[in-house]
Structure 1
Amino acid sequence: MNDHIAAALQDFTQRYCQHWQQLHGHLPASEELYGIPSPCAVENRGDAVLWQPQPFDAEPHLAAVERALELELQPAIVSYYTTQYAGDMQANFEQQSLTLLQVWSEADFVRVQENLIGHLVMKRRLKQTPTLFIATTETDLDVISVCNLTGEVIREKLGTPEREILAADIRIFLNGLQPVISSF
């Protein structure tokens, strides 16, 4: 199953990079990640960094998250966050616009784990089902997450029990993504 998650993520990333290349004639660019060290950074161009995905080379686990909350995580979410280093990518899933969150570097991986811990602590305090975010939306309070109990991909409104199932699992979700390329 984890190999299927990695393959689906890599497939989407390849489609995203190819689409960007076709529209702009170069690798994906990010102004937000400019100046932040990463194995993905290929070239600085103006106020942006051009990037390409790289294999994840740290320990492939989210043990810090599991230890902090005494919680076993869905293997799919571990695979998602430990497949590659890449820039965040814009996409559509059906009618939902989103930004697929990625790990930019080993230092960013530590920050992502800290944010996942904070998110899970909030869910626990609110006595809600544990979820792990994988994407943001245009609405600040809505995030795309994986339910740690079922593995379903959901859109949830932070701080509320409101949620909508988007896909039965993360592989189906990733396979259903369509790249959205911003102007550069």
Structure 2
Amino acid sequence: MTSSNQTKINLVDVLQQFSVQYIEQYQLLHKHLPLIEQDENWPSPCELTLSDDDTINPPPLSTQVFWRPTLIEKEKELNFDNVESALEIILHEDIKRYFTAQFSESLDASCEEGQLTLLFAWNEADFERLQENLIGHILMKRRLKQAETVFFAVTDEEDMIISVDNDSGAVWVERVGCKPHKKLAESLPQFIRTLIPRVS
């Protein structure tokens, strides 16, 4: 097994572990799965019905549905080929694996540095929107003549994001429009392992 494949497996594993922990803590606190307002024009594989799990209680509002992070099926095979082609760049394998591992609402977490929110795509259309945002971010970095990074989380501080350095794969904190200023981990899998789910 190559180190690249090992990285893929490790990252998906730690993402799954974190997501399971998040849902377990949410259920302990609220006695049910997370709820979200249902939008018929914005469906997601994350949404559950009573037929999916007859042990869950009916939602308190008819406009709400239960949801949980859901692994992206192999046949969907989401990728960043169009982004890499448009920007003439090879994105770091960790960031590609992160955003193609699962569909999910944003998940709140805590680390030694403070509070953050992990970003994911809710559905395939959201994945396309995410790609557009990442293209905009990288173009901004190029315009400012800064090292290229790819964000995957936001923090509780305005304009502060958490990103992956595209060359090294290290995780950094950066203010939007500024150079990364504090390294949090050597890799994305290493960083995810340190996170604690934050449920309210």
Change (3 A) 1:27 1:38: same
Out of 112, 117, 126, the residue aligned to residue 94 of structure 1 is 112
**Residue of structure 2 in register with 1:132 after alignment:** 150
- Unpaired segments of 5 or more residues in structure 1? none
TM-score between the two structures when normalised by the length of structure 1 = 0.92
- Asked whether the 8 Å contact 2:46–2:69 carries over to 1, the reply is yes
Change (3 A) 1:29 1:170: same
Q: Does 1:178 align with 2:184?
A: no
Superposed CA offset, 1:51-88 (max 9, x none): 11222132242112111110001111111001111111
Shift of 1:146: 0.6
Matched letter for residue 119 of structure 2: L
- Unpaired segments of 5 or more residues in structure 2? 1-6, 50-58
Out of 4, 14, 18, the residue aligned to residue 10 of structure 2 is 4
- Asked whether the 8 Å contact 1:60–1:79 carries over to 2, the reply is no
- Asked whether the 8 Å contact 2:172–2:180 carries over to 1, the reply is no
Q: Does 1:145 align with 2:151?
A: no
TM-score between the two structures when normalised by the length of structure 2 = 0.85
C-alpha separation in 1, matches of 2:124 and 2:60: 23
C-alpha separation in 2, matches of 1:119 and 1:29: 31
Change (3 A) 1:162 1:133: closer
Change (3 A) 1:52 1:162: closer
Change (3 A) 1:48 1:136: farther
Larger Cα Rg: Structure 1 or Structure 2?
2
C-alpha separation in 1, matches of 2:182 and 2:8: 24
Q: Does 1:69 align with 2:87?
A: yes
Q: How many residues align?
A: 180
**Residue of structure 1 in register with 2:173 after alignment:** 155
Shift of 1:140: 2.4
Shift of 1:28: 1.9
Counterpart mapping for 1:12-31 below 5 A: 12-30=18-36
Superposed CA offset, 1:129-169 (max 9, x none): 11111101112210011110110111101111242101110
Matched letter for residue 17 of structure 1: I
**Residue of structure 2 in register with 1:85 after alignment:** 103
SS of aligned partner of 1:27: coil
Change (3 A) 1:82 1:162: closer
**Residue of structure 2 in register with 1:53 after alignment:** 69
C-alpha separation in 2, matches of 1:162 and 1:54: 31
SS of aligned partner of 2:179: coil
Structure 1 residue runs of 4 or more that deviate by more than 6 Å after TM superposition: none
C-alpha separation in 1, matches of 2:104 and 2:183: 26
Matched letter for residue 18 of structure 2: F
